[in-house]
Amino acid sequence: MIRRDSQADSRESPKLSAMPTLPSLNSSLLVRTDFTSDDAWQQVSEEAQQENADGFRAYAEPISDPAFDRATWQAVKAAVPANDAGGSVLFIADSTTLTSPDHPILVVDLMDTFLSVAEFPAIAGRTPFRCIPSELWSVDNNLNISNMDWEEFAGAVDASGVFRGFNA
């Protein structure tokens, strides 16, 4: 887990300070944007990386940097460096994630970061959805290798906008 402890000036709001650039990795990122409970973050981070019964797991690097406290998903997405070898999806653990019993993680598409929307209009305006940690492996693995499309997961969310698996 990548963790940064900052000694931010108390007069400066974390939302207004400049966002740092996230690390350029060959995997997806799980970025924490709520710093109200370290225990909840630890639980979500562990659940998100838990291997399932078939041996699959999400390969998402947890990022805990107070500079992202209360950041919007758009601000976090803007902090992802352009990296053709990086993940095509971004995961965010926000206040909803950390306070809900089933910890639904926000899933944000990054394909418009790497591809031209003019050339690939289908990737424009993809709305984030949520995913329970036990199914994050499916989203991460399948989107990063282009085995499945964004629409397949986004179209399989329940009435509350959460992906709980295809057999849920």
* pLDDT (tens digit per residue) in 43-82: 999 999 999 999 999 999 999 999 999 999 999 999 998 7
Least confident of 17-26, 48-57, 159-168: 17-26
* Number of CB atoms found within 10 A of residue 140's CB: 26
Contact 71, 16 (CB under 8 A): no
- Enter the DSSP assignment of 20: P
- Enter the DSSP assignment of 145: T
pLDDT at 157 over 60: yes
Q: And the tokens for 85?
A: 């070898």
Q: What is the edge-to-edge ordering of all strands in the sheet holding 105-109?
A: 2-3, 60-64, 28-32, 89-93, 105-109, 129-131, 162-163
What is the pLDDT, as a whole number, of residue 14? 42
Average pLDDT score, the chain: 84
pLDDT at 1 over 60: no
pLDDT at 163 over 90: yes
Query: CA-CA distance, 166 to 137, in Å (whole number)?
Result: 13
What is the pLDDT, as a whole number, of residue 40? 97
Read off the pTM. Answer: 0.83
Report CA Rg, the chain. 15
pLDDT at 91 over 80: yes
What is the pLDDT, as a whole number, of residue 167? 81
Per-residue pLDDT tens digits for 104-141? 999 999 876 554 445 555 555 568 999 999 999 999 99
What is the pLDDT, as a whole number, of residue 10? 35
Please, what are the domains in the chain?
Answer: 2-157 (3.40.50.800)
pLDDT bin (cut points 50, 70, 90) of residue 8 is very low
Q: And the tokens for 16?
A: 């207004």
- Phi/psi zone of residue 123: left (φ > 0), alpha (ψ -120 to 50 degrees), beta? alpha
